């Protein structure tokens, strides 16, 4: 496995792979890799000849009051994980190379980026799309792997690939959870012991909501209130949002008649965690 930080060097390697007719799977990350990321690398390895993982903490997707400077960084451990799970190349561009100060062009997203995380993290998806578009252009992957935990990001990137004609297939990958149900996230390392225990209320509340749906409940306001009340039973939880949206358009729904996404964001102390549930059996 090679680690490359220069754009022209990685392009040369990719050109050679393409010349040999090899397919490329791509896993974009911001590092601090956990089992969720490693499962994406594993899937990419099974479906492609070569796998590239990028590690770049993207300042464009953090608001000024967010955790960019303290975002966890663990390059040595990340490289070990990438190697163990079969990555061929790790791309670690410098800030100056990937986002030079002269950068004037950004990728903006309409509609899909306006609610959920888009409303509480203004500019976040513009930052994500801009960096992912750059990475797609540099690495020209055949397939790109994104976790379903970031459901809104996945929907937006899928739409970006379609609308901007990127020649890469976006592959959604299932959420990976801890044994007690907490969705794996690089931000889980911020949690104190008490917050870590309290955070299981998110997946518990989503599972209970799923039972309501399975019993035929279809009024989204009722289900939303049920989830809010359930999360509020945990005193350390501070809800950012709980929303029920159409699975593909991400627009709010009143009556659940089509596949939906229940998306939640909850603070535990300063740590904001997201999770979601897709329900398609309607």
If the CB atoms of residues 17 and 26 are measured against ligand PAF, the closer one turns out to be 26
CB of 8 to ligand PAF, least distance (A): 21
24-29 and 2-4 strand pairing? unpaired
CA angle 133, 138, 140 (to 5 degrees): 85
If the CB atoms of residues 93 and 201 are measured against ligand PAF, the closer one turns out to be 93
List, by residue number, the catalytic residues: 37
List of residues contacting ligand PAF (CB under 6 A):
28-30, 58, 61, 128, 131-132, 150, 153
If the CB atoms of residues 72 and 86 are measured against ligand PAF, the closer one turns out to be 72
CB of 99 to ligand PAF, least distance (A): 11
Q: How far apart are CA 213 and CA 244, in angstroms?
A: 12
> Is the distance from CB of 246 to CB of 220 less than 8 angstroms?
no
CB of 227 to ligand PAF, least distance (A): 24
Neighbours of 109 (CB within 10 A): 18
If the CB atoms of residues 144 and 205 are measured against ligand PAF, the closer one turns out to be 144
CB of 267 to ligand PAF, least distance (A): 19
Helix (H, G, I), strand (E, B) or coil at 230: helix
Q: How far is CA 181 from CA 3, 147, 153, in A?
A: 34, 16, 21
């Amino acid at each position: 496995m090679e680690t490359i930080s220069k754009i022209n060097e990685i392009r040369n390697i990719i050109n050679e792979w393409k010349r040999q007719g090899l397919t490329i799977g791509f896993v974009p990350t911001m590092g601090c890799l956990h089992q969720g990321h490693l499962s994406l690398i594993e899937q990419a390895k099974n479906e492609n000849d070569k796998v590239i993982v990028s590690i770049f903490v993207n300042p464009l997707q953090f608001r000024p009051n967010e955790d960019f400077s303290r975002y966890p960084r663990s390059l040595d451990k990340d490289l070990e994980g990438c190697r163990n799970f079969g990555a061929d190349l790790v791309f670690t561009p410098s800030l100056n190379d990937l986002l030079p100060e002269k950068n004037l062009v950004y990728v903006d997203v309409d509609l899909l980026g306006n609610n959920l995380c888009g409303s509480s993290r203004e500019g976040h998806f513009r930052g994500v799309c801009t960096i992912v578009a750059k990475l797609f252009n540099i690495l020209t992957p055949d397939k790109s792997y994104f976790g379903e935990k970031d459901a809104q990001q996945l929907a937006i990137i899928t739409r970006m690939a379609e609308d901007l004609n990127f020649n890469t297939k976006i592959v959604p990958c299932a959420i990976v959870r801890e044994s007690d149900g907490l969705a794996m996230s690089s931000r889980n390392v911020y949690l104190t012991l008490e917050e870590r225990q309290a955070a299981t209320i998110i997946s518990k509340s989503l599972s209970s909501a799923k039972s309501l749906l399975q019993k035929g409940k279809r009024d989204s306001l009722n289900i939303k209130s049920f989830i809010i009340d359930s999360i509020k039973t945990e005193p350390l939880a501070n809800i950012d949002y709980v929303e029920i949206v159409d699975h593909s358009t991400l627009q709010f729904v009143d009556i659940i008649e089509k596949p939906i996404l229940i998306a939640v964001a909850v603070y535990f102390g300063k740590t904001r965690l997201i999770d979601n549930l897709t329900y398609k059996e309607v």
